[in-house]
Amino acid sequence: MEYEAVIGLEVHAELSTKSKLFCSCTTEFGGRPNTHCCPVCLGMPGTLPALNRKAIEYTIKAGLATNCTISRFTKQDRKNYFYPDLPKGYQISQYDLPLCKNGYVEIETENGKKKIRINRIHLEEDAGKLVHSEYGHNSYVDYNRTGVPLIEVVSEPDISSAAEAKAYLEKLKAILQFIGVSDCKMEEGSLRADVNISIRPKGSKELGERTEMKNLNSFRAIYRAIEAEVARQIEVVRSGGTIQRETRRWDDAKGKSYPMRSKEDAQDYRYFPEPDLPPLIIKEELIQRLKNELPELPDARKQRYMTEYGLPEYDAGVLTSSKELSDFFEEAAKASNNVKAISNWVMGDMLRILNERNLEVSQVPFPPAYLAKLVALLDKGVINGPTAKKVFEEMFDSGKDPEAIVKEQGLEVLNDESLLLQVVEKVIQENPNSVADYKKGKKKAIGFLVGQAMKATKGKANPQLLNELLVKKLEE
Amino acid sequence: MKLHEYTITQLHELISKKEVSVPELTRHMLDRISRLDSKLGCYITVTEEQAMERAEKVQKMIDEGALNSPLAGIPMAIKDNICTKGIPTTCASKMLGNFVPPYDAHVVKKLYDNGAVVLGKLNMDEFAMGSSTESSYFKKTKNPWNTERVPGGSSGGSAAAVAAGEAIYALGSDTGGSIRQPASFCGCVGLKPTYGLVSRFGLVAYASSFDQIGPLAKTVADCALILNAIAGHDPMDLTSSRRQHPDYTKALINDIKGMKIGIPREFIADNVQKDVRDAVLNAAKVFSSLGAECEEISIPIMEYVVPTYYIIALAEASSNLARYDGVKFGYRTANPKDMLDFCMRSRSEGFGTEVKRRILLGTYVLSSGHYDAYYKKALKARALITREFNKVFEKYDVIIGPVAPTTAYRIGEKINDPVQMYMEDIFTVPVNVAGLPAISIPCGFDSSSLPIGLQIIANRFDEPTLIRAAYTFEQNTDFHKAKPSIMDE
């Protein structure tokens, strides 16, 4: 029998508000342990939560950008459980009245566009972090992250493959970044995902028993975990077993998951309305204002790149996959009259270099306008292609203006015919064998000679001119 | 008359006229505490040095004209569940025996702004859970009228200190009667403000949707002065009201002509001790003779009030007390086996019996499978109870009745019958369930010469009417003038 996967994602994204959800402590990542906290976020006796309105607004924005209905009446609830990283012994979250409901995100799949429905988006506070000692068996708690506002985006089980899950996550990440509510850095834990996976006979409408996968720290881990879990479930069912409702922990190094807790161990969170925070009434005017504040979303921008810049759909898609990349591209494009070249540079060399050097777009040491300058230098023939590539690398090293690099290092294309002629004559003299080969009809030999001449000019010669001169000289 | 026998109003005048200095007054109070408190056990912590330092400072500010609040220089004390920066705040629990808050409660800040001199922290039932102050981890407080009797609770230390002249006034907290019932047992005035009138920031939470801080003092006028100082919006407490509060001393009017007073039949039923019922009925006569219209009314929903209160309060308590796990503050067990053992043992060893009982009950009513039958139903009942009281206040200005079914009972008499003790909260908890303001004022004595308290309840935020009714009763009766003999010691 053929099986298909049914997948739902619970995505947690930390909101990029300046202060925490219920106090004025900074939300900044890092910092020495327990330096970003106060009596309120440490849950000290007698303290009360004061609500950060920005976090409410950010959550509503996330809902609007994912086509959700915004609740006009909402409240916060306590989710009770004991864990040392949870200072109050409960997490302030939302239970039955989330801020946003019934939205969707559109993704591209091999079979075209697909809508992934969003069940709900709710606001809650983050917990701290346990740090286990490398020596002895002590554990320590770092409460810096405690109380940082978090949204949980719960999808419907509309996803049917690891690739779709990845596409959904990438889209969601791009949207949250575009609207500026989260920086979605998985490596810093500001974007986290739990995956619910089940399988069913292909074409069936019923849902099978699901497992929940935790400890997924990268898109790659999510992708691999889904592939592995779907395969595991199919294997279990094919060999006559049944899937147990359980939570599993993904071990990315081993490429395997392990049972963490079964349904029987499921916690009873004893949710009840948070008595310290009155219910919230969301006014229509607020929703309207936030709607008006929403910037261009990734899909709209992609469409614009296609119509305004004439970029192919694929290119426009890549360029709008992250806000930072898209903003970089757009700023460079605005400073240039060769958008296609800018697009090629960004998608090609720039992404390659970022990848090689393990950098974020935000860490690019030069302004986007410098890329436009580089393209202009190339277009005007001031430098040649190979030099441009070298200059671009150099820009990543020093952050310098490409014009300055070219000038300082004398990298301008050599267009001086008499100078190049001298070089050509010298190369012909020094390589009689190749010249003889050429004259015998081995036209390929010219490649070697051009190479030698290029080398003699330290790669700066105008290659076309060099070629012309060489051919002319050889044909004499 | 000795200094500790004066009211705030009288002491303010003495201080203003320089007939007594703040350090002199403070010294007098501290000496009194050191002489008497071993007998009464009102205080958990006495802050002698800080109080004297503070007294000097306040006197200086008064002399410079920088302080003219009626509370300036008046020595007072605070229930030990209200956070005081640098002063231990134990909630009378082993769990918080070593806890020194790095912040002041909002009310404490406000009192400091008004020049208050803090004498120390007062005994109470552990985490405010109880009505006799017997569940304190540290000591049992005795009733100043009869040291074999309980002072009531949970603000038993506050009421006893005020009644015995160990503090001119005190702050207490009232979740289900914890200010009014001890005030009634000790013969002082205790006011529980409307929910949301006084900030809860810094009050160690027991049941968040009921808790409210309020004053205990010798007279209604003193309570009005204190309420003026502590009421008002606090951005740190989102449940605190934004409305401007009036000057409550303006409500100190000796006139209730035409006031409509309801006496619920359910408040004077057979379950009430006879001399208590007689005292309340006598109070109604006093009001009538002063021109008020007293009518018997009925609030049938009263029979659901105690279970409704306990279900919601204990549900909230079970969550509020989850933070005491030994990790960050408070008691921590020694040599735990692992993380779970660490948490379980810290809690098992740190909390007393009554607290554990309430946490267990609260956890139970919130558990899946019981939530709908208990918690959810109780929320609905709460809405109905609130509506019933709203209806009463459409027709009546205030409700009167007893504070508690009995006067102060013997220490140890009821501690082993928790259900009986819970049931005796019947007249105080509806006020908390509906978020109303209420006051307990002296209205008589029982056959054993123990004080009886009259409860007056008003509509939400109608403290002025409450104060006016209480003040008028006080001005026209002498019950508040009687003092326990310990006052002379």
Q: Give the 3-state secondary structure of B17-85.
A: CCCCCHHHHHHHHHHHHHHHHHHHCCEEEECHHHHHHHHHHHHHHHHCCCCCCCCCCCEEEEECCECEC
Enumerate the residues of chain A whose CB falls inside 8 A of the CB of residue B96. 45
Looking at chain B, which residue has its C-alpha nearest residue A141?
A: B327
B79 has catalytic annotation: yes
> In B381-468, at which residue ranges do the beta strands (DSSP E only) sit?
398-402, 438-445, 451-458
Contact A276 B238 (CB under 8 A): yes
Number of domains comprising chain B = 1
Phi-psi region of B379 (alpha: psi -120 to 50; beta: other; left: phi over 0): alpha
Q: Is B87 helix (H, G, I), strand (E, B) or coil?
A: strand
List of residues 6+ apart from B158 with CB closer than 8 A: B42, B77, B79, B122, B124, B167, B170, B171, B172, B179, B182, B216
Consecutive H or E run containing A106: strand A100-109
Residue B422 pairs with which residues in a beta bridge?
none
The whole-model pTM stands at 0.90
> Rounded to an integer, what distance in angstroms lies between the CA atom of residue A78 and that of residue A56?
17
Q: Which residues of A touch B (CB under 8 A)?
A: 39, 42-51, 78, 80, 82, 84, 87-90, 139, 141, 268, 270, 272, 275-278
What does B179-199 look like in DSSP terms, one character per residue? THHHHHHHT-EEEEPPTTTB-
Q: Which of these, B268, B101, B468, lies nearest to A46 by C-alpha position?
A: B101
Using DSSP, state whether B246 is helix, strand or coil: coil
Which residue segments constitute the domains of chain A, with CATH numbers given?
3-286 (no CATH), 296-409 (no CATH), 417-475 (1.10.10.410)
Pairing of strands A256-262, A246-251: antiparallel
Whose tokens are 């219920």? That residue is A22
Whether residue B348 lies in the annotated active site: no
Distances (CA, A) of B93 to B126, B136, B348: 5, 6, 12
DSSP state at residue B137: S
Close Cβ partners of A424 (under 8 Å, ≥ 6 residues apart) = A453, A466, A469, A470, A473
pLDDT, tens digit only, all 476 positions of chain A: 899 999 999 999 999 999 999 999 999 998 999 999 999 999 999 999 999 999 999 999 999 999 999 999 999 999 999 999 999 999 999 999 999 999 999 998 888 899 999 999 999 999 999 998 888 778 899 999 999 999 999 999 999 999 999 999 999 999 999 999 999 988 888 899 999 999 999 989 999 999 999 989 899 999 999 999 999 999 999 999 999 999 999 999 999 999 998 877 778 999 999 999 999 999 999 999 999 999 999 999 999 999 999 999 999 999 999 899 999 999 999 999 999 999 999 999 999 999 999 998 999 999 999 999 999 999 998 898 888 999 999 999 999 999 999 999 888 888 788 888 888 888 888 888 888 888 888 878 888 888 888 888 888 888 888 888 888 888 87
Tell me, yes or no, whether B345 lies in a domain.
no
B154 in active site: yes
> For residue B316, what is the nearest residue in chain A, using CA coordinates?
A275
Query: Would you state the structure tokens that stand for residue B466, as one six-digit string?
Result: 């409450």
Please report which helix (H) or strand (E) contains residue A91, including its range: strand A90-93
**Chain B window 230-269: which residues touch A at a Cβ cutoff of 8 Å?**
235-239
Report the gap between the CA of B202 and the closest CA in chain A (Å). 4
Count, residues in chain A? 476
DSSP string across A157-206: S-B-SHHHHHHHHHHHHHHHHHTTS----GGGTSEEEEEEEEEEETT--S
* Chain centroid offset of residue B388 CA: 25
B21 belongs to a structural domain: yes
Residue B443 lies in a domain: yes
Chain A residues near residue B371 by CB distance under 8 angstroms:
270, 272
Give CA–CA dist A40/B339, Å, rounded: 24
**Is residue B290, in this structure, part of any structural domain at all?**
no
Task: Say how far apart CA A62 and CA A430 lie, in whole Å.
Answer: 69
Q: Which of B282, B294, B283 is nearest to B258 (CA)?
A: B294
pLDDT tens track for B52-98:
999 999 999 999 999 999 999 999 999 999 999 999 999 999 999 99
In a domain, residue B85? The reply is: yes
Tokens representing residue B37 in the block: 């408190």
Q: What residue numbers bound the domain in which B159 lies?
A: 3-259+404-410+437-488
CATH number, residue B86: 3.90.1300.10
489 residues of chain B, pLDDT tens digit each: 899 999 999 999 999 999 999 999 999 999 999 999 999 999 999 999 999 999 999 999 999 999 999 999 999 999 999 999 999 999 999 999 999 999 999 999 999 999 999 999 999 999 999 999 999 999 999 999 999 999 999 999 999 999 999 999 999 999 999 999 999 999 999 999 999 999 999 999 999 999 999 999 999 999 999 999 999 999 999 999 999 999 999 999 999 999 999 999 999 998 899 999 999 999 999 999 999 999 999 999 999 999 999 999 999 999 999 999 999 999 999 989 988 999 999 999 999 999 999 999 999 999 999 999 999 999 999 999 999 999 999 999 999 999 999 999 999 999 999 999 999 999 999 999 999 999 999 999 999 999 999 999 999 999 999 999 999 999 999 999 999 999 999
Task: Name chain B contacts of A47, Cβ cutoff 8 Å.
Answer: 103, 201-202
> Residue B64 domain-assigned?
yes
Which burial class, exposed, middle or buried, applies to A260 when counting CB atoms under 10 A from its CB (0-12, 13-18, 19+)?
middle
In a domain, B334, yes or no: no
In angstroms, the CA B458 to CA B462 distance is 6
Kindly determine whether residue B327 and residue A276, on different chains, have CB atoms separated by under 8 Å: no
Is B238's CB within 8 Å of A39's CB?
no
Residues of chain A found within 8 Å of residue B200, distances taken between Cβ atoms: 48
DSSP state of A325: H
Q: Which residues of A touch B208 (CB under 8 A)?
A: 275-276
CB B397 within 8 A of CB B260: yes
Contacts A127 to B, Cβ<8 Å: none
3-state secondary structure of A316: helix
Q: Choosing from B131, B132, B136, B154, which is the catalytic residue? A: B154
Distance from CA of A248 to the nearest CA of B (A): 21
A88 and B322 in contact by Cβ < 8 A? yes
DSSP three-state, residue B359: helix
Single out the residue of B265, B252, B305, B261 nearest to residue B287, CA to CA. B261
Q: Say what the ipTM of the complex is.
A: 0.95
Closest CA to B379 of B368, B359, B365, B389: B365
Of A46, A87, A141, the CB nearest to B203: A46
Residue B395 falls inside a structural domain: no
CA B408 to chain centre: 16
